């Protein structure tokens, strides 16, 4: 039974996701994080860090990928989602938790029009106890949402097949579908990747409006630290299936307490400084089936010591809601001139 934590909407506790094979792998390995009502949590990290797998675990879709959640709990409004039946989880998806998937072309059904797919989602989930919204009302809602995400001639586009739309329009259609049910939690996996900066701003503004109007919470999965800095309340940094750092956004950008977080930030172009070339984190994210011993980031880390390779560091509390999985985080505090 979950703790009574009225200030938490979503609560992941030590979640592990396992994929079988000659050597079983854990793309999500002991992840704990929470999201409060009306909060935006940014989840960042390089490709292969486990961000999307974490979102699929929340949505109950890991089995469709061939894996399984083998440890931990995922509480949503006090209910453990891992204990729900498929039917109960289907009711949660859409009406209470919606997701914007990373690849719109593979997420949209090619044999149905855009409007029909949004209508089906609305009619399947909009009314509780198995009720279904009238089709005309659902169609009007679909057209309204297409207009709200900046698609021109929304009535016409609603009657279009997915392959007739540009990548950016397909992405906006997926966003319209996810937002059409006014979910309490929106999981947005790279929601603005295929969009130009003007449409990006429109989408982020729309998400912000819905968040304010309904106290909607957002799990924002992205590579774009600029977007995270602009709209996230807190940020979690992920690498090889583990959370390496989590903090309020302002504090994370002011004093990152993990070398990996620092490396990500130093690779961002900035208007207030001129450099000949951007810094880059050396090396690559290691394959999930060939992780180095101890801290998985140690082979790429400029601060690594022998002890870093001996055991996985714990996620330590640095104060004020800031946690770091680095044995040398206190050295980073001193380097930034701050205090733990």
Q: How do residues 17-42 score in pLDDT, each as one tens digit?
A: 999 989 999 999 999 999 999 999 99
Residue 30: phi and psi, rounded to 5, are 80, 40
Average pLDDT (118-126) is 85
Instruction: With a cut of 80, say whether residue 309 has pLDDT above it.
Output: yes
| Cross-strand partners of 15 | 31
Q: Binning pLDDT at 50, 70 and 90, where does residue 272 land?
A: low
Contact (CB, 8 A) for 88 and 79: no
Residue spans per domain, the chain: 10-232, 238-336
3-state secondary structure of 107: helix
Rg (CA), the chain: 21
Whole-prediction pTM value?
Answer: 0.90
Interatomic CA distance for residues 50 and 244, integer angstroms: 12
Instruction: With a cut of 50, say whether residue 340 has pLDDT above it.
Output: no
Average pLDDT (272-282) is 71
Residue 15: phi and psi, rounded to 5, are -80, 135
Interatomic CA distance for residues 154 and 275, integer angstroms: 44
* % of the chain with per-residue pLDDT over 70: 91
Q: SS3 letters for 236-269?
A: EEEECCEEEEEEEHHHHHHCCCCHHHHHHHHCCC
pLDDT the model gives residue 126: 64
Q: Binning pLDDT at 50, 70 and 90, where does residue 339 land?
A: very low
The two tokens of residue 295 are 């801290």
User: Comparing C-alpha atoms, which of 8, 38, 95, 7 is closest to residue 218?
Assistant: 38
- The count of other CB atoms within 10 Å of the CB of residue 214 is 13
Residue 195: HSE in the Cβ half-sphere, 13 Å Cα cutoff: 25
Q: How do residues 176-200 score in pLDDT, each as one tens digit?
A: 998 888 899 999 998 887 678 887 8
pLDDT the model gives residue 2: 46
Average pLDDT (140-168) is 92
Q: How do residues 240-269 score in pLDDT, each as one tens digit?
A: 999 999 999 999 999 999 999 999 998 877
Instruction: With a cut of 60, say whether residue 15 has pLDDT above it.
Output: yes
User: Comparing C-alpha atoms, which of 239, 236, 266 is closest to residue 251?
Assistant: 236
Burial annotation 258-295 (CB, 10 A radius, 16+ → b, else e):
bbbbbbbeeeeeeeeeeeeeeeebeeebbebeebeebb
Check residues 196 and 170 and name the one with the higher pLDDT.
170
Q: Binning pLDDT at 50, 70 and 90, where does residue 105 land?
A: low
**116 DSSP 8-state letter:** H
The DSSP code sequence of 36-84 is: -TT-EEEEE--TTSSHHHHHHHHHT-TGGGT-EEEEEEEEETTEEGGGS
Q: Binning pLDDT at 50, 70 and 90, where does residue 60 land?
A: very high
What fold is seen in the domain 10-232?
A: Rossmann fold (3.40.50)
């Amino acid at each position: 039974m979950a703790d009574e934590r009225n200030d938490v909407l979503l609560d992941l506790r030590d979640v592990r996701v396992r994929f079988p094979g000659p050597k079983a792998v854990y793309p999500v390995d002991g992840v704990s994080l929470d999201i409060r009502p009306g909060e935006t949590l940014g989840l960042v990290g390089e490709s292969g860090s486990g961000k999307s797998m974490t979102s699929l675990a929340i949505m109950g879709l890991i089995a469709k990928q061939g894996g399984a959640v083998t440890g931990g709990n995922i509480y949503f409004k006090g209910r453990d989602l891992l204990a729900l039946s498929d039917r109960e989880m289907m009711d949660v998806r859409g009406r209470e938790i919606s997701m914007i998937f990373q690849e719109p072309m593979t997420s949209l059904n090619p044999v149905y029009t855009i409007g029909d797919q949004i209508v089906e989602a609305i009619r399947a989930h909009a009314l509780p106890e198995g009720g279904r919204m009238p089709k005309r009302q659902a169609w009007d809602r679909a057209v309204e949402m297409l207009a709200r995400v900046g698609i021109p001639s929304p009535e016409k586009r609603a009657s279009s097949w997915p392959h007739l739309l540009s990548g950016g329009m397909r992405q906006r259609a997926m966003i319209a579908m996810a937002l059409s049910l006014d979910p309490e939690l929106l999981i947005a996996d790279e929601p603005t990747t295929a969009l130009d900066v003007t449409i990006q701003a429109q989408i982020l503004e729309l998400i912000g409006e819905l968040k304010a109007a309904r106290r909607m919470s957002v799990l924002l999965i992205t590579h774009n630290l600029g977007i995270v800095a602009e709209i996230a309340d807190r940020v979690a940094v992920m690498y090889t299936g583990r959370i390496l750092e989590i903090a309020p956004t302002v504090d994370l950008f002011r004093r990152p307490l993990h070398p990996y977080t620092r490396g990500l930030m130093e690779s961002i172009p900035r208007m207030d400084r001129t450099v000949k070339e951007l810094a880059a984190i050396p090396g690559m994210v290691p394959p999930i089936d060939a992780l180095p011993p101890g801290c998985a980031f140690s082979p790429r880390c400029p601060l690594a010591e022998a002890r870093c390779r001996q055991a996985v560091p714990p996620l330590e509390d640095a104060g004020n809601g800031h946690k770091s999985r680095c044995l040398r985080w206190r050295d980073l505090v001193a380097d930034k001139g701050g205090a733990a």
